[in-house]
Chain A
């Protein structure tokens, strides 16, 4: 780990100025310090934003918008009554992430910027020339060892031969299904980015560029439109270990239904691409369809036909289709 300087920022503007000079934002540091210890990054300076006033969670007076500050911790997000009531998928996704200890520090701003869990990328290799294998995200142009490896967490969509990694976050899946919008501030002011477009898959950004956030831009918070589908949302996380484990696949579903008929549906799959994978055609096709397992499963099976599993992972599209189906049934109150 390289030496670095550390300073607390007293305003977003001060932090953004520091970032323009090469400093890196430090929020909960649950990702950042790991990267520094593994040799993934070696920032010369940290600007600590954890003291800024960006942790509020509130429902707007008209009841149509939920706002969540970037510094809200995952435990705060998961237990806040407005989130639980108006965007339960986000609350569940936050509480199913990491462990209680981590969730007390991990912020929703940092969470969406976490990087892949590809074990090749996460190799501990502090020091020149210590990387044991090619990884384009670690050493640009070195290659992608996971492409050929017996590694079962590769992407199904959007990958290229340069990188097959996935974005492992739970909350991003919920945020994408909820049509959430991030408010970000840079040297030139504040702008908004839709969370379903926030991340880039490899076909869009190559191995290196993972989000539409410009260097030095800070996430201030998220705006979540509240509708019946958001209030009826659910999150399903499928993982081999019951807690403290990333998803093998996950699904966030926003569902509005009545009398056994789907009125509106939004679905995002998690851990199947380097971004949350919305299924727009399926959403449209199922609007007005019967809310029963057979109908939904058939639509999901069709949606997963485009998946490109790596050799040895042929079971994964089926798992993703099943998970999406189950999540819809959960949101519909048909299974627990």
Chain B
């Protein structure tokens, strides 16, 4: 008997949704049966786990050539010559493209292009792994073999890395990576530090890490006449269009990008990387469609990374624990081409009020590729530093770490004095502490031992900027009575194919199951990228608006009242109407193309959380393991508690990786990553993660951030976790680790 995937219940896992949403006063909120707030399962789950969902690397139009990038083995130098004879003589190799073959390109606009240096546009080598040639062949194996036969003559120079580079101030003019002021300051932090009852001052390092998404980036480029069609693994279809339209001097409308599913991105597919530029150029030169799929190794140099952030944090407090001064200086590595800035002190600006503040943001230019945003950018690496320093301060004051946070609670945004659009962090602290049992924690370090293990607990606050984009969407009632939601947005694994139908369903008063969701194409209504935790806020608001418009049109046909769902097809027939369409949109204050934490509006917008962790440390064996984690969040309205919970669990595991495992180590002499595979780069596995990860959200409706009460959640879950873990390790052992990840050398005793 064959069992069809539909009949097997692959979804039924009891995850205990009780108390997932916590109402004011601490009671569990009742979850609705359908629509927004219900535990709707993933509508695209079957397609994904059965392989029906088609990813970019899987499409193969007739005549497609496989392109394999030949990359530079050195980080700095100049290409002297490229010998292609042996490669061209190999079976199946059709063409080898070298820098001389490349057409002149217009200057890239960064972003959406990720780096301003386009490889192969000249003979310079600026980072290891940079593409220097492309081998096109009939099969992937033939192209890989051909790539190994290309003879590279390179004049190499000694590269600079983070450790050897100079600290400089980033360019602000014409730099698309500047998201805020570099050096905000108020009062006199130095003087206040001198007068403080307690101070801490230390350096914290969050190392370079890679996205390690499940699906390596892949691009299929095909020219049809003057028009370019791409099936691209991306987080931003419209970004690909704009990037290429600029570089190739083409009309945006002649570039069609599709991406029905993206196999994870975490930021690596947000902007446009060299392979996405080179594939269409190769296709044009070859006169055939070209597919370039990065190998796993090429993912380490081909689509960015989160740069190392070195933070110096100094805090001063009065005897009651109130912060009198905050200093947070950050530096990150970047390429020689772009001043990418990781705003490691972004969270420090808005989390705790202090009358005296001194922040600086610096970079070090090295012979490496341009970094990019990675879950969670800015606050992720930066909050490890601030929240570790707060923990150190709590010991200096002999004060409970949570009490120290509460003594420094911000009622309005310390960065600008604006009221928050909505903020329930105080409730999140209380609920998290209650669920964790924080009150029972001994204040002393090394106070609890179980056999060979020391047990400790730690906590940290989480804060994440709210990013928003304008968006548009369409909701249609088809002639046969079906509902279709259309938006250019992407599905990168976060659940947009479930959430958007849920939003439309609620507005139309119908069930979400059965609603068709069409997304991931540039011929659909324009939206921003699926990054910055911005999709649900922005696209979700546009979908709600479009559904409202459709509802009004249906009501218009039916004398002003909404008839029952079953009557809709007949209503269309009676009125002789074809498809009914509702168009909707979401725009920002001042019609901005993008804003962060509320932009020009009257409210400051952030998401918050409180993370509590228990660690067991076996000092003899240098091992620390997480035993449980409780995290409670204030993140606006939660549209689907199940997909939201899974986002947060993913974020917590991501944070565990930051704390305990992940570091993309670089060999300093060659400026090359030591390991470019998932065996040499450690990501958490299931066996590392305890079952007891308790996630909850404070019930909330943000009236200002979006039309549907939500803010973003995707990145928030990662923030604060590493600090909570390091703080718990300190509580267990008295060992303070300021340089991540925490390894044997930090713990063995």
Closest chain A residue to B741, Cβ basis: A240
A304 within 8 A of B: no
Q: Is the CB of B452 within 8 A of A335?
A: yes
Q: Is the CB of A319 within 8 A of B672?
A: no
Q: Is the CB of B743 within 8 A of A240?
A: yes
A128 CA to B148 CA, complexed, in Å: 7
Among the interface residues B151, B621, B625, which one has the most CB atoms of the partner chain A within 10 A? B621
Known interface pairs A39-B148, A124-B676; A242-B670 also in contact (CB < 8 Å): no
List 13 A-B residue pairs with CB atoms under 8 Å apart, sorted by A's residue number: A119-B675, A120-B667, A126-B147, A129-B73, A130-B152, A132-B73, A132-B128, A132-B672, A152-B743, A238-B621, A240-B682, A244-B687, A325-B620
Hey, which chain A residues are within 8 Å of B451, CB to CB? Answer: 335-336
- Which of these binds chain B: A17-25, A85-93, A143-151? A143-151
Q: Is the CB of B674 within 8 A of A319?
A: no
A42 CA to B640 CA, complexed, in Å: 53
Give me the interface of B with A, judged by CB distance under 8 Å: 73-74, 128, 141, 144-145, 147-152, 297, 451-452, 620-623, 625, 660-661, 665, 667-670, 672, 674-677, 679-680, 682, 684-688, 743-745, 748-749
Q: Is the CB of B73 within 8 A of A1?
A: no
Query: Secondary structure of the A side of the interface?
Result: loop
Hey, which chain B residues are within 8 Å of A2, CB to CB? Answer: 145
Closest chain A residue to B746, Cβ basis: A315
Hey, which chain B residues are within 8 Å of A322, CB to CB? Answer: 620-621, 748
Q: Is the CB of B622 within 8 A of A243?
A: no
A244 CA to B682 CA, complexed, in Å: 10
Q: Which of B74, B144, B685, B744 lies in contact with A319, CB distance below 8 A?
A: B744
Q: Is the CB of B745 within 8 A of A133?
A: no
A248 CA to B660 CA, complexed, in Å: 15
Closest chain A residue to B673, Cβ basis: A119
Q: Is the CB of B687 within 8 A of A243?
A: yes
A124 CA to B297 CA, complexed, in Å: 8
A326 CA to B452 CA, complexed, in Å: 10
Q: Is the CB of B621 within 8 A of A241?
A: no
Hey, which chain A residues are within 8 Å of B148, CB to CB? Answer: 1, 39, 126-127, 130
Known interface pairs A119-B674, A248-B744; A133-B687 also in contact (CB < 8 Å): no
Closest chain A residue to B141, Cβ basis: A1
A313 CA to B743 CA, complexed, in Å: 12
A281 within 8 A of B: no
Q: Is the CB of B682 within 8 A of A245?
A: yes
Q: Is the CB of A240 within 8 A of B74?
A: no
Q: Is the CB of A240 within 8 A of B669?
A: no
A326 CA to B453 CA, complexed, in Å: 13
Closest chain A residue to B674, Cβ basis: A119
* Shortest beta-carbon contacts, A-B, top 6: A127-B148, A242-B687, A243-B687, A322-B620, A126-B148, A119-B674
Q: Which of A120, A125, A313, A318 lies in contact with B73, CB distance below 8 A?
A: A125
Hey, which chain A residues are within 8 Å of B145, CB to CB? Answer: 1-3
Q: Would you give the shortest CB distance from A332 to chain B, in whole angstroms? A: 14
Q: Is the CB of B745 within 8 A of A152?
A: yes
Q: Would you give the shortest CB distance from A96 to chain B, in whole angstroms? A: 11
Interface string of A126-143 (1 = CB under 8 A from B): 111111110000000000
Hey, which chain B residues are within 8 Å of A245, CB to CB? Answer: 682, 685
Q: Which of B297, B452, B620, B625 lies in contact with A242, CB distance below 8 A?
A: B625
A129 CA to B622 CA, complexed, in Å: 40
Q: Is the CB of A145 within 8 A of B669?
A: yes
Interface residues on A, range: 35 or more
A312 CA to B40 CA, complexed, in Å: 52
A122 CA to B680 CA, complexed, in Å: 9
Q: Which of B151, B676, B680, B684 lies in contact with A128, CB distance below 8 A?
A: B151
A84 within 8 A of B: no
Among the interface residues A149, A240, A245, which one has the most CB atoms of the partner chain B within 10 A? A240
Give me the interface of A with B, judged by CB distance under 8 Å: 1-3, 39, 117, 119-120, 122-133, 145, 149-152, 238, 240-245, 248, 312-313, 315-316, 318-319, 322-323, 325-326, 335-336
Closest chain B residue to A133, Cβ basis: B670
Q: Would you give the shortest CB distance from A169 to chain B, in whole angstroms? A: 14
Q: Is the CB of B680 within 8 A of A319?
A: no
Hey, which chain A residues are within 8 Å of B679, CB to CB? Answer: 117
A243 CA to B687 CA, complexed, in Å: 6
Hey, which chain B residues are within 8 Å of A238, CB to CB? Answer: 621-623, 744
Hey, which chain A residues are within 8 Å of B128, CB to CB? Answer: 132
Q: Which of B668, B685, B745 lies in contact with A244, CB distance below 8 A?
A: B685
Q: Is the CB of B686 within 8 A of A243?
A: yes
Hey, which chain A residues are within 8 Å of B744, CB to CB? Answer: 152, 238, 240, 248, 315-316, 319
A127 CA to B625 CA, complexed, in Å: 42
Q: Which of A131, A243, A319, A336 lies in contact with B621, CB distance below 8 A?
A: A319
Q: Is the CB of B669 within 8 A of A133?
A: yes
Q: Which of B147, B150, B152, B670 lies in contact with A132, CB distance below 8 A?
A: B670
Q: Is the CB of A127 within 8 A of B150?
A: yes
Q: Is the CB of A122 within 8 A of B622?
A: no
Q: Is the CB of B672 within 8 A of A133?
A: yes
Hey, which chain A residues are within 8 Å of B748, CB to CB? Answer: 315, 318-319, 322
Q: Would you give the shortest CB distance from A331 to chain B, in whole angstroms? A: 15
Q: Would you give the shortest CB distance from B369 to chain A, in whole angstroms? A: 15
Q: Is the CB of A326 within 8 A of B621?
A: yes
Hey, which chain A residues are within 8 Å of B680, CB to CB? Answer: 117, 119, 122
Hey, which chain A residues are within 8 Å of B144, CB to CB? Answer: 1, 126
Closest chain A residue to B747, Cβ basis: A315
Closest chain B residue to A130, Cβ basis: B73
Hey, which chain B residues are within 8 Å of A241, CB to CB? Answer: 661, 682, 684-685, 687-688
Closest chain B residue to A243, Cβ basis: B687
A240 CA to B682 CA, complexed, in Å: 9
A240 CA to B659 CA, complexed, in Å: 12
A117 CA to B661 CA, complexed, in Å: 17
Closest chain A residue to B148, Cβ basis: A127
4 further A-B contacts with Cβ under 8 Å, apart from A1-B144, A119-B674, A315-B744, are A132-B670, A133-B669, A322-B621, A326-B452
A323 CA to B618 CA, complexed, in Å: 11
Q: Is the CB of A132 within 8 A of B621?
A: no
Among the interface residues B622, B625, B669, B686, which one has the most CB atoms of the partner chain A within 10 A? B622
Q: Would you give the shortest CB distance from A204 to chain B, in whole angstroms? A: 27
Q: Would you give the shortest CB distance from A38 to chain B, in whole angstroms? A: 9
Among the interface residues B623, B667, B684, which one has the most CB atoms of the partner chain A within 10 A? B667
Q: Is the CB of B152 within 8 A of A315?
A: no
Hey, which chain B residues are within 8 Å of A248, CB to CB? Answer: 622, 744
Q: Which of A133, A150, A152, A240 lies in contact with B661, CB distance below 8 A?
A: A240
Q: Which of A126, A127, A133, A318 lies in contact with B667, CB distance below 8 A?
A: A133
Hey, which chain A residues are within 8 Å of B669, CB to CB? Answer: 133, 145
A107 CA to B622 CA, complexed, in Å: 31
Q: Which of B621, B660, B661, B674 lies in contact with A323, CB distance below 8 A?
A: B621
A79 CA to B744 CA, complexed, in Å: 31
Q: Is the CB of A242 within 8 A of B688?
A: yes
Q: Would you give the shortest CB distance from A148 to chain B, in whole angstroms? A: 8
Q: Is the CB of B150 within 8 A of A326?
A: no
A292 CA to B163 CA, complexed, in Å: 47
Closest chain A residue to B145, Cβ basis: A1
Hey, which chain B residues are within 8 Å of A132, CB to CB? Answer: 73-74, 128, 667, 670, 672
Hey, which chain B residues are within 8 Å of A326, CB to CB? Answer: 452, 620-621
Q: Would you give the shortest CB distance from B405 to chain A, in whole angstroms? A: 30
A245 CA to B682 CA, complexed, in Å: 8
A242 CA to B687 CA, complexed, in Å: 6
Hey, which chain A residues are within 8 Å of B676, CB to CB? Answer: 124
A145 CA to B393 CA, complexed, in Å: 42
Hey, which chain A residues are within 8 Å of B682, CB to CB? Answer: 240-241, 245
A335 CA to B745 CA, complexed, in Å: 24
Q: Would you give the shortest CB distance from A144 to chain B, in whole angstroms? A: 13
Q: Would you give the shortest CB distance from A309 to chain B, in whole angstroms? A: 11
Q: Would you give the shortest CB distance from A164 to chain B, in whole angstroms? A: 15
Known interface pairs A152-B743, A319-B748; A145-B621 also in contact (CB < 8 Å): no
Closest chain B residue to A297, Cβ basis: B620
Q: Would you give the shortest CB distance from B193 to chain A, in whole angstroms? A: 33
Hey, which chain A residues are within 8 Å of B687, CB to CB? Answer: 241-244
